[in-house]
Amino acid sequence: EVQLVESGGGLVQPGGSLRLSCAASGFTFTTYSMNWVRQAPGKGLEWVSIISGTANTMYYADSVKGRFTISRDNAKNSLYLQMNSLSVEDTAVYYCARETERFLRDWGQGTLVTVSS
Amino acid sequence: EIVLTQSPATLSLSPGEGATLSCRASQSVSSFLGWYQQKPGQAPRLLIYDASNRATGIPARFSGSGSGTDFTLTISSLEPEDFAVYYCQQRSSWPLTFGGGTKVEIK
């Protein structure tokens, strides 16, 4: 059974940093591209970033480019999102999601990031 | 960036009725479009990929159609568990984008 478990969310002040983690199990982690998708309270879904299985390709949404960095540790079956220069607009539930055949088939339960003073 | 526009924003229907949800892309996405269902407090669930293929375990009452810029998600007969928010998502070009969602609510 595929399992994705996010962690690392919490309350952070504007301008601060946070690192999210996603622990994956139940599949061969290196084989799949992994994504971060976020959802602001009461709002829709916003794709954030993707990283290929071998970590040689990454893409970012314009809204986070230059501030967020996606990475993975295939030895630890883990995905990460380093978030710097956070603003209140980054407040959201952050989901990690596995991509299979171009779409997001498996999702974690999400971790809440709140940016507030 | 490809913009996906979903309509209507809200659909008020009764169990047993059919539902038709629309997603229009600002430029062609070929068939690289998916549909997701999200219930309150839950992560999204993939329903349809490549415009018309049901994901594993998705009931046959869900079907997708379309190509290019116009897509439809059809629920043939609404079950109580189908009342939720539905999002379309394109995988044709970066950045990936989602539509704003259609809420299917109980009338």
What is the nearest CA distance from A15 to chain B, expressed in angstroms?
25
B98 with A44: Cβ contact below 8 A:
yes
* Closest by CA position to B21, among listed B90, B77, B67, B86: B86
Q: Does B34 touch chain A (CB under 8 A)?
A: yes
Q: In the prediction, which pLDDT does A76 show?
A: 97
Looking at this protein, which amino acid is placed at residue A67?
R
Q: Does A109 touch chain B (CB under 8 A)?
A: yes
A102 with B32: Cβ contact below 8 A:
yes
pLDDT tens profile B12-47: 999 999 999 999 999 999 999 999 999 999 999 999
Phi-psi region of B81 (alpha: psi -120 to 50; beta: other; left: phi over 0): alpha
> Is the pLDDT score of A101 beyond 90?
no
Predicted confidence band at A94 (pLDDT cuts at 50, 70, 90)? very high
Average pLDDT, chain B: 97
| Contacts by residues A64-70 (CB-CB < 8 Å, ≥ 24 positions apart) | A64/A90, A70/A36
Phi-psi region of A75 (alpha: psi -120 to 50; beta: other; left: phi over 0): alpha
Cα–Cα distance between A62 and A60 in angstroms, integer? 6
pLDDT tens profile A25-75: 999 999 999 999 999 999 999 999 999 999 999 999 999 999 999 999 999
